[in-house]
Amino acid sequence: MKMRLTQLILASLALSACSGMTIFETATPQPPQVVQVTLNPTALPTPLPESIIIEADAEEILLVNLYERVNPSVVNIDVTGGSIQDFAEFGSGSGFVIDTEGHIVTNNHVVEDANRIYVTFADGSVAEADLIGGDPDSDLAVIRVNIDPDLLRPVELGDSDQVKVGQRVVAIGNPFGLLGTMTVGIVSGVGRTLRADPLDPNNQFSNPDIIQTDAAINPGNSGGPLIDSQGRVIGVNSAIRTNGENRANSGVGFAVPANAVKRIVPQLIETGRVAYPYLGIRLDNDFTMAELAAALNLPTSRGVLIAVVEPGGPADRAGLRGGDREETVRGLLVLAGGDIIIAIDDTPVDSFDQMIAYLVANTKVGQVVKVTFLRDSETLETNLTVGERPR
């Protein structure tokens, strides 16, 4: 048995010797092939100059600083139909603190139908608020919370008369319930005039000096601040213009100017309502004075052509006259023959929008103003006692 095993081993060794290999030998792994790639330095982007990087970083720092300073002043507003279980989404919006007494500015349409109002601050704390007063014509309202004054961070109101097209603006609010959202854009228009209450066909009054912006404003932003690069509030985000049914942002938003807030909010806090100056005249068309002058051969292309004088109103008592005949302008009937207002207190009047803006900013109910007007190419003057806009 041992002899057979020895013979088998010897036979195996002999067989291996014949094949030229040693038993138990393994194949040596081959090294991987290395492919060298030479990069062309000229094909890589050239690093930006340090000055550009510093400028970009400075803008980021500015925006971060603005948000950290102003966001604690911005609140989320929810309303209910009587109890916390009756949450009503139609009343959600934004607002901002204006003093340490607990007064908060928002849009009137956010809170006008509310039975109960809940305010959520940036730190997550919640307080119930009372409605102090609302003004549908400006779409501004004031609510008040009763909390520790140390928790209130009032904003600084800027001068909206100094706002220029092209300047950078920031909107902070709660679109779609997303608290503390910041969007950036520019002022894309100033001096716009919007219907005081676009949902009320019987309300023909206008809100002047509206600021237009391309900063994204969506449902839930209503009532939030529009601020400048100094962190000052220059407007209250109020409305968006869109062709869609969901009122999503389409690039054109509007804000009530801060100077209107300065005029209106003190009245709301004091009396709960606002008294607007009123002349008691109406226009019946959307044509400019230049268009009317060319079509009707008027003596001036600037001013306000009175179509209707409200009976018993301030203009009627001052002796101003409306149109007395119908004329066709571009296929539309207009009332012609009325007086043309060209100045108030020696301040030239170029258009109806400019006249309304002047009256709102510079006159009060009961104030006597001098009205300069044209009647049959004759320049006349009359004293007019400013009335109060009917509600």
- C-beta neighbour count of 245 within 10 angstroms: 6
Tens of pLDDT along 354-385?
A: 898 899 889 999 999 999 999 998 999 999 99
Q: Tell me: do 84 and 141 sit in the same domain.
A: yes
Q: Tell me the two tokens of residue 30.
A: 């081959």
Measuring CA to CA, how many Å separate 184 from each of 134, 181, 215, 241?
28, 10, 5, 18
Which CATH number belongs to the domain containing residue 289 in this structure?
2.30.42.10
Cβ atoms of residues 186 and 333 within 8 Å = no
Provide the pLDDT for residue 249: 59
**Domain end: 110, 130, 151, which one?**
151
* 326 HSE (CA, 13 A, CB side): 5
Our CA angle for 317, 321, 323, nearest 5°, is: 145
Q: Which of 220, 219, 225, 278 is nearest to 256 (CA)?
A: 225
What domain range is 369 assigned to? 277-388
pTM: 0.76
CB 169 within 8 A of CB 227: yes
Q: Is it the case that residue 4 has pLDDT exceeding 80?
A: no
Residue 299 lies in a domain: yes
Mean pLDDT of the chain: 84
- From 151, 176, 193, give the residue that closes a domain: 151
Q: Do 106 and 132 have their domain in common?
A: yes
* 11 found inside a domain: no
Please check whether residue 187 lies inside any domain of the structure: yes
Q: Could you give the 3-state DSSP secondary structure of residue 21?
A: coil
341 and 354 in a single domain? The answer is yes
Residue 50, burial from CB neighbour count under 10 angstroms (0-12, 13-18, 19+)? exposed
What share of the chain has pLDDT > 70, as a percent? 80
Domain stops at, among 237, 271, 305: 271
- C-alpha separations of 117 from 77, 84, 217 in Å: 7, 10, 22
Cα–Cα separations (whole angstroms), residue 20 to 6, 7, 9, 14, 73? 22, 20, 17, 10, 90
The single residue listed with the structure tokens 């207002």 is 341
Is residue 132 domain-resident? yes
Residue 151 phi, psi dihedral angles, 5° rounding: -90, -5
Q: Regarding beta strands 156-157 and 232-240, do their DSSP bridges make them parallel or antiparallel, or are they unpaired? A: parallel
- The identity of residue 360, as a single letter, is V
Cα–Cα distance for residue pair 208/323, rounded to 1 Å: 25
Band (131; pLDDT cuts 50, 70, 90)? very high
User: Does residue 354 form part of some domain?
Assistant: yes
Minimal CA–CA distance to 194: which of 255, 133, 262, 260? 255
Report pLDDT digits (tens) over 218-275: 888 999 999 999 999 999 998 664 444 555 556 788 999 999 999 999 999 999 999 9
What b/e sequence results for 21-39 when a residue is b if at least 16 CB atoms lie within 10 Å of its CB, and e otherwise? eeeeeeeeeeeeeeeeeee
**Same domain? 249 vs 318:** no
Provide the CATH number for the domain around residue 91.
2.40.10.10
52 in the Ramachandran plot: left (φ > 0), alpha (ψ -120 to 50) or beta?
alpha
In this structure, are 77 and 122 located in the same domain?
Answer: yes
Same domain, 166 and 251: yes
In this structure, the answer to whether residues 242 and 266 fall within a common structural domain is yes
In a domain, 42, yes or no: no
Q: Which residue pairs from 123-126 have beta carbons closer than 8 angstroms and sit at least 24 positions apart in sequence?
A: 123/72, 123/151, 125/151
* Per-residue model confidence as pLDDT tens digits over 151-174: 899 999 999 999 999 999 999 999
Q: Are 350 and 316 members of one domain?
A: yes
Which residues are CB-contacts of 361 (< 8 A; sequence separation ≥ 6)?
Answer: 209, 259, 263
| Residue 285 confidence (pLDDT) above 90 | no
**C-alpha span between 133 and 199 (Å, rounded):** 20
Q: Please report, for residues 134, 203, 212, the alpha-carbon distance to residue 169 in angstroms, rounded to integers and kept in the order given.
A: 26, 31, 11
Residue 207 has pLDDT above 80, yes or no: no
Tracing tokens 């008294």 back to the chain, one arrives at: 275
Active-site residue list: 109, 139, 222
- Tell me if 334 is assigned to some domain: yes
Residues 300 and 378 in one domain: yes
| Co-location of 297 and 333 in the same domain | yes
- Domain membership of residue 335 (yes or no) is yes
Q: Are residues 359 and 339 in the same domain?
A: yes
Is the pLDDT score of 20 beyond 60? no
Taking every pair of Cα atoms in the chain, the longest distance, rounded to a whole number of angstroms, is: 147
Q: Same domain, yes or no, for 288 and 365? A: yes
- Overall number of domains in the chain: 3
